[in-house]
Amino acid sequence: MSPALLAERLGRWSPLPLRFIVGYGFIAHGYAKILKDPEHFAALLHALNVPAPHFMAWMTIAIELLGGFAILVGAFVPLVTIPMIVVLLVATFTVHLPFGFTSIKLMAVTSAGPQFGPPGYETDLLYLACLVALVFGGAGPLAIDNLLPWRKARLPSPAFGMSVDSTAR
């Protein structure tokens, strides 16, 4: 099998690692906020002058858990991406931006292990890039989006993941 044919056959699976990483990452962040007490997260949002901090804390947790699960299984990807991007942008501009680009800042290595500084916005940008790639490129195989009735009559176009009517082919 030629490398080009192999790349063509395997390329359709490329959204899967994006879905798994982004979906799991969002779920992990939402679950961590639940474990550490949502009131603690609400207090953090209050300190950042976020309006309605308790409501926004629960909305963020819901977006991370439900949106992460939807991305993981490839369900309603273009729709759930919107609030997920908002969460990422708020985190970028209220928390991570002052610490620069790099997410991992090794400050020291002690007998207790490595010590890291505050994370920058690098990881936020990686999540954003993955979400945008999933919206424009599609959720790939094994996605619930592929089972939805309004998706059955549409086939992916080679340009920017746009769809075309299958009856035109």
Mean pLDDT for the stretch of residues 48-75? 96
Domain count, the chain: 1
**Confidence check: pLDDT of 97 > 60:** yes
Any bridge partners for residue 116, and if so which? 106
Residue 126 lies in a domain: yes
Average pLDDT over residues 46-71: 96
Where residue 150 falls among pLDDT bands split at 50, 70, 90?
low
Q: What is the pLDDT of residue 8?
A: 82
Helix runs in the chain, H state only: 3-11, 15-35, 38-47, 53-62, 68-73, 77-91, 122-137, 149-152
Q: What is the pLDDT of residue 164?
A: 45
Residue 167 scores a pLDDT above 50: no
Looking at residues 114-141, what average pLDDT do you find? 94
Structure tokens at 43: 């207090």
Residue 27 in any domain: the answer is yes
Output the average pLDDT for the chain.
Answer: 88
Rounded average pLDDT over 133-153: 84
Whether residue 2 lies inside any domain: the answer is no
**Assigned domain for 63 exists:** yes
Residue 47 falls within a domain, yes or no? yes
Most confident of 5-9, 62-66, 148-152: 62-66
3 inside domain: no
Band (160; pLDDT cuts 50, 70, 90): very low
What pLDDT is stored for residue 147 in this prediction? 87
* pLDDT for 165: 45
**Is 5 part of any domain?**
no
Res. 78: pLDDT tops 50: yes
What is the domain extent for residue 101?
A: 12-168
61/29 Cα distance (integer angstroms): 8
Whole-number Å distance between alpha carbons of 25 and 72: 10
Q: State what percent of residues in the chain have pLDDT above 70.
A: 88
